[in-house]
Amino acid sequence: MIAAASTSFGGVISYLTSASNWRGSSGFLERILQHFEYSAETLLIAVAIGLPLGLLSGHTGRGGAVLSMLSNASRALPTLGLLTIFAILIGVGLEAAVIPLIFLAVPSILVNTYVGIRDVDRSLVDAARGMGLRPWQVLFRIEIPVALPLIVLGLRTAALQVVSTATIAAYVGLGGLGRYIIDGQASRNFAELGAGGVLVAAFAIATESMFLVCQWFLVSPGVRARAYTS
């Protein structure tokens, strides 16, 4: 066992660098693409649900208590359990994997968006209304830009959760990078298992970096500097 562990590091590297492992229907490229597809699809749906709800309740100040209660409740749900239930209910497939991941992603987006908008200094909103901006102009021109660091943080957190948890989609028979981990474990192929782990980690780091870059370009220097100084 110890010998296997010590040789497995070299094994992981040779597994990762073997050209044949990158090609084909169960090759790395295909699996990375699948992983990206599940994650992106999940995130898009989660954003479509969480962002408008967070913006609306933050702007109007209504429904905050209900939203945070629902979010906390859904955070408490075990994703693996949900995955199994949906796989049983609707059969193995994309939906069975994506729906539980959506449950996982929505709360971060929703709560951060809501809190971000709520925390915008009320005097700014007052000044904006007082100068004759209409409610939607106040939201899009003032509240969202000022709340952006928190909104992007919510998206980033959600994306990371989805990317790392999408790994377990393999449990219900789907592809993605989780396949290597599950198959590797089942067949005691530590090189395959390790390669899966490395790829999932790299995928997560890439996701994180992408959001940091987005944040840098999207958030105004005036807000960015304030966030650092306060």
Partner 1 sequence: MIRFERVTKRYADGTLAVDDLSLECADGEITVLVGTSGCGKTTSLRMINRLVDPTSGTIRVAGKDVTKSDPAELRRTMGYVIQQGGLFPHRTVIDNIAPVPRLLGASRAKARGRAYEMLTLVGLSEPMGKRYPYQLSGGQQQRVGVARALAADPPVLLMDEPFSAVDPVVRSELQQELQRLQAQLHKTIVFVTHDVDEAVKLGDKIAVMQVGGHLVQFDTPERILARPENAFVESFVGTDRGIRWLSFFAAKGLRLHVPATVETTTSAEDARRIAREAGTGWLLALDADRHPLGWLEVATLNGGASIELAGLRSLGHTFKPDDDSLRAALDATVLSPAGVAVAVDDRGVVVGVADHEEVTRAIRAASGRA
Q: Are the CB atoms for 83 and 97 separated by under 8 Å?
A: yes
Q: Is 123 in the site for partner 1 (CB under 8 A)?
A: yes
Q: Among 89, 91, 134, 186, which residue interacts with partner 1 (rule: CB under 8 A)?
A: 134
- Nearer to partner 1 by Cβ, of 10 and 135: the residue is 135
Q: Is 131 in the site for partner 1 (CB under 8 A)?
A: yes
Cα first-last separation, the chain: 52
Q: Is 153 in the site for partner 1 (CB under 8 A)?
A: no
Q: Is 142 in the site for partner 1 (CB under 8 A)?
A: yes
- Nearer to partner 1 by Cβ, of 127 and 206: the residue is 127
Cβ burial, residue 79 (10 Å; 0-12/13-18/19+): middle
Which residues touch 148 (CB under 8 Å, ≥6 apart)?
116, 215, 218, 219, 220, 223
Q: Is 223 in the site for partner 1 (CB under 8 A)?
A: yes
Q: Among 4, 5, 127, 212, which residue interacts with partner 1 (rule: CB under 8 A)?
A: 127
Give per-residue burial for 87-112: e unless 16+ CB within 10 Å, then b: beeeeeebebbbbbbbbbbbbbbbbb
- Nearer to partner 1 by Cβ, of 10 and 222: the residue is 222
Q: Is 136 in the site for partner 1 (CB under 8 A)?
A: no
Q: Are the CB atoms for 124 and 59 separated by under 8 Å?
A: no
Q: Please give the sequence-ordered ranges of beta strands (E in DSSP) within 2-116, or none if there are none.
A: none
Q: Among 98, 102, 128, 160, which residue interacts with partner 1 (rule: CB under 8 A)?
A: 128
Using CB under 8 A as the criterion, which residues of the chain lie in contact with partner 1 when the complex forms?
123-124, 126-134, 141-142, 145-146, 148, 219-223, 225-226, 229
